[in-house]
Amino acid sequence: MQNKGALKFLAIALAVACAYQLSFTFVTRHVENKAAQYAAGDAVKEQNYLDSIKSQTVYNLGFIKFNYKQCKEKEINLGLDLRGGMNVMLEISIEDVIRALSNDSKDPGFNQALAQAREEQKNSTKDYITLFAEAYEKISNGGRLSYIFNTPELREQITPNSTNAEVIKVLRSSAEGAIENSFNVLRNRIDKFGVTQPNIQRLENSGRILVELPGVKEPERVRKLLQGTASLEFWATYENQEIYPALVQANDVIKELQDAGEIVAETGGASTVAAAADSLVAATVAADSTMLANADSAAAAGNSTLISQLDSTDASHVETDEQAMISKFPLFAKLRPVADEQGQVGRGPVIGWAKSFDTAAVNRYMSLPQVKALLPRDIKLMWGVKAIDPQETTFALYAIKANTRDGKAPLDGGSVVEAREGYAQHGSSAEVSMTMNASGARTWARLTADNVDRCIAIVLDGYVYSAPVVHGEISGGQSSISGQFTINEARDLANVLKSGKLPAPARITQDTVVGPSLGQESINAGMMSFILAFVLVLIYMIFYYNRAGWVASVALICNLFFLFGVLVSFGAVLTLPGIAGIVLTMGMAVDANVIIYERIKEELRMGKTLAMSVAEGYKNAMSAIIDGNVTTLITGIVLFIFGTGPVQGFATTLIIGIITSLFTAILITRLIFVGMLNRERKITFSNKFTENFLANTKFNFIDKRKITYVISGIMLLITLVSLGVRGMSYGVDFSGGRAFVVRFDQPVTANEVREALGDVFTGTGYEVKQFGQDNQMRIVTQYKYDDEGDNVTAEIEDMLYKALSPLMTAQLTEAEFLTTAQNPYGIISSDKVGPSVAHDIKVDSVIAVLFSLVAIALYIIIRFKRWQWGVGSVISLTLDALFTIGLFSLLHGLLPFNLEVDQSFIAAILTIIGYSINDKVVIFDRIREYQTLYPKRNIKDNINNAINSTLTRTINTSGTTLVVLLAIFLFGGEVIRGFVFALLFGVLISTYSTVFTATPIAYDLIRRKEPAAK
């Protein structure tokens, strides 16, 4: 074996890298177990504990250290179906953007074109602007869009002479900017939910944004925050010196209330004031961006007694003195006042700093009526959007002056025409230039004139993004915001300023909620199926291949280790279908070992030495292994490109699993065998029961093809009749609508639930099915599914609560019914898909299947140099897919689990195609080999001999894969049972079609092309 040393080094390096990546998960689990023991069941106390150590070192490798937050970012990323949470697809309202750009034009043709485009988009793959342009062209009979969009804001880009194509180009650019701004706003909003490992991504070539929020327990609050229009405001501010005396009085008042027992002291997870003092005192308001120049800091005399007492506590005695500190200074133990080491109160609008886990306590203190009475009546307190310390745990509290008559901001984002980042003329720091419209420029001039040498806060969604100092009146609407910016920080601020330019609200078009209890059950079910399948495969390989089976088992364990290590290093999300993908990969991983071992056994039967048989076995098996895995890889890539959410999770694990399987099956096992041969260890590839299993079969498969053609024809006829008569049961992915899984605290029947819902969903079809246990029901309805109103989901959930709560033995509140965060009953998962998304999913699914078939056919034709093999493969693969579809059509509603056509079903179809072509390639490869070795033999004999010689491999691979899938089907949980059922049937039908459909069809096509080959 050549390059053995390099291969050993590669294997060891990969193992070390994977161990390093996986170690972070073990560290975070250890820390979280300690937090759970400390909290003793108190969820708030546990979270406070984790927040308090977020910036502390928990993993020390000597040459590098990691805090808890960094370890958490590197651990295995579990999907929503494994830990609960929310998956939301938002679509930016391009129609609202276009209306805003037209200054809400009342032109009848314009408004009619907008309405027509809105309707057409539900069943079209074209984007909204294209549909609008086509509709306006027809309605206005070629009218000019420039007359509508030649507004003051767009006058520089659109003139009365601009063509419609030029106007559309401007609209596209503006819409793209609106989507990008909305994306940035959503990203910042998501950061405020406090969830671990949130995910937000733009879906290319659409106005859609995908948001995943693991662990969210308040779905309705999330929906409201995500769908709200960005609110950009400019506010005057108070100076810290003006508020500080009131804070001192507030601290005394809070202490008195606590001593009197009128309020409960905020304990547990309090900020370690003295330990944080050094880093906080160093931070001043100069950290904020400044207007035209950095702020001049000036110290003002203040009450130094409090500061000195706060600073006097030794950091090493924080734990013992913490309760005493909280008792004496309840407010300042949570909110660190802004002052220097001499006790002088700092300038600027920041009145204090607090740890992230203390902000809620500060909010509660500051909202007490007794505290409000001490503060100015027009004050608003707002937190900074970004942490001020490197550990990202400390946030500033700003004092906003709301002194307008109506209490609204004197200037909002609608006045901002343009904002862009750039570098200052002098120096290397970045700055942001801002342009306002005429009315905004007048207000801005007045606002800056009234606040010279004071700060103006730039606020988005209630959080302060910057508070620059004004050095003089700014007229003309042109401003420059400078400071110690990096170019990325300047870009973020520019995006914030642009977010108020266009009203582009995001509307939820797809919404999936998984309760934490269902997530934990999915983990348990997935792990049980995973362990069982893994053990069964190991036992089977050891039994069938004896000592070589132990080598294959070692390779399988290495494969699993590498697979998880690579998953974590890429930051891939592990979902329940992803676990199914791993388990399926395990079943398919043994295929390479089976092919190699069977070739080695053939060489041994020919009388060759063990060392030569091993070398020849690996050499001869390589072609079939590579071809089979490449074709399966094609389907995995197609799945990843066209799938979303769980489907992508499955595709990710499948792709990585194929690559790691090849590495371990070909290289790791070879290294082990070489080591055993060098030590003259005995290697056996069978036992007395398996030594000659199917070794000498002489079945004439080709002569039986007419019988199998008839069988396939009958199956196809049944499929077509069933599709015409029974049709398919489409999931909400394909039909649009809402689906809820409700768990009751007692057994209920589907009829009882239907009767309860009868008066609720009047005039709209709905469906009720048992989902797993007899106390769980899945409810699907299209009631108002195309209504884009913000409160429709809340309305339907309220209807469900009122209709179904009487079926519970214990009375639940509506809040308890809507989330299983604190109890296991009620809505444990929900799914909503709008009509436009459902249409796009259907189109993408069809494209994915067709693209996969074409790609595989092209590969087969190129690799085997005959179009007949490609045609035979595609016909056979198409039949495999059709028969699986037919089975779902025949049995939906008859079996006690879900057989709906949804994205998971399409993933199953593509997986079946990948598995099926893998099976076929192995036989095609052996036929090609026989044609080369025995060119004078009849092609029929070569085909029959090839099928017979690979029969052991076919049975073994299919058997191990079926055993694995059966374990997932029985123990993997209700969520993926229909998906696995499709794969079970797919493996069986693929094995049949390989032998009895694909090869015979290719034979008949070759025979017609070359009559002499009879």
SS3 letters for 931-966? Answer: HHHCCCCCHHHHHHHHHHHCHHHHHHHHHHHHHHHH
Residue located via tokens 């015979």: 1000
Q: What pLDDT is recorded for position 919?
A: 84
Residue located via tokens 């074709």: 631
Sign of the torsion angle spanned by Cα atoms 274, 278, 281, 285: negative
CA distance 910 to 329: 64
Q: What's at 576, amino acid-wise?
A: L
From the centroid of its chain, how far is CA 423? 36
Q: Which H helix or E strand runs over 570?
A: none
Phi–psi pair at 950, nearest 5 degrees: -100, 10
CA distance 778 to 518: 14
**3 state SS of 27:** helix
CA distance 410 to 440: 10
CA distance 592 to 661: 8
Token duo for residue 849: 């299947």
Query: 586 with 534: CB under 8 angstroms?
Result: yes
CA distance 750 to 769: 6
855-894 burial by CB neighbour count: b if 16+ within 10 A, else e? ebbebbbebbebebbbbbbbbbbebbbbbbbbbbbbbbee
Q: What pLDDT is recorded for position 317?
A: 46
Token duo for residue 611: 């060392």
The upper half-sphere exposure of residue 620, i.e. CA atoms within 13 Å in the direction of its Cβ, equals: 23
CA distance 579 to 572: 12
Token duo for residue 164: 């419609």
Strands laid side by side in the 199-203 sheet: 199-203, 208-214, 85-92, 506-514, 826-833, 737-743, 776-781, 766-770
Token duo for residue 367: 């909202």
Q: What pLDDT is recorded for position 179?
A: 80
Q: What pLDDT is recorded for position 483?
A: 66
Residue located via tokens 């080491």: 341
Closest alpha carbon to 202 in 219, 220, 185: 185
Query: 267 with 447: CB under 8 angstroms?
Result: no
The upper half-sphere exposure of residue 57, i.e. CA atoms within 13 Å in the direction of its Cβ, equals: 7
Query: 1005 with 871: CB under 8 angstroms?
Result: yes
Read off the pTM: 0.70
CB within 8 A of 758, min separation 6: which ones?
A: none
Query: 79 with 574: CB under 8 angstroms?
Result: yes
What single DSSP character describes residue 521?
H
CB within 8 A of 664, min separation 6: which ones?
A: 555, 556, 558, 559, 562, 589
C-alpha to C-alpha distances, 304 to 121, 123, 248, 337, 398, nearest whole angstrom: 65, 69, 11, 11, 21
Q: What pLDDT is recorded for position 885?
A: 92
CA dihedral 285, 291, 292, 298 (to 10 degrees): -30
Strands (E), 668-736: none
Query: 761 with 754: CB under 8 angstroms?
Result: no
Can you list the residues of the chain whose pLDDT is less than 50? 268-305, 312-320, 1012-1014
C-alpha to C-alpha distances, 413 to 319, 418, 766, nearest whole angstrom: 46, 10, 44
Q: What pLDDT is recorded for position 972?
A: 75
From the centroid of its chain, how far is CA 547? 42
CB within 8 A of 411, min separation 6: which ones?
A: 233, 234, 440, 443, 444, 447
Q: What pLDDT is recorded for position 822?
A: 65
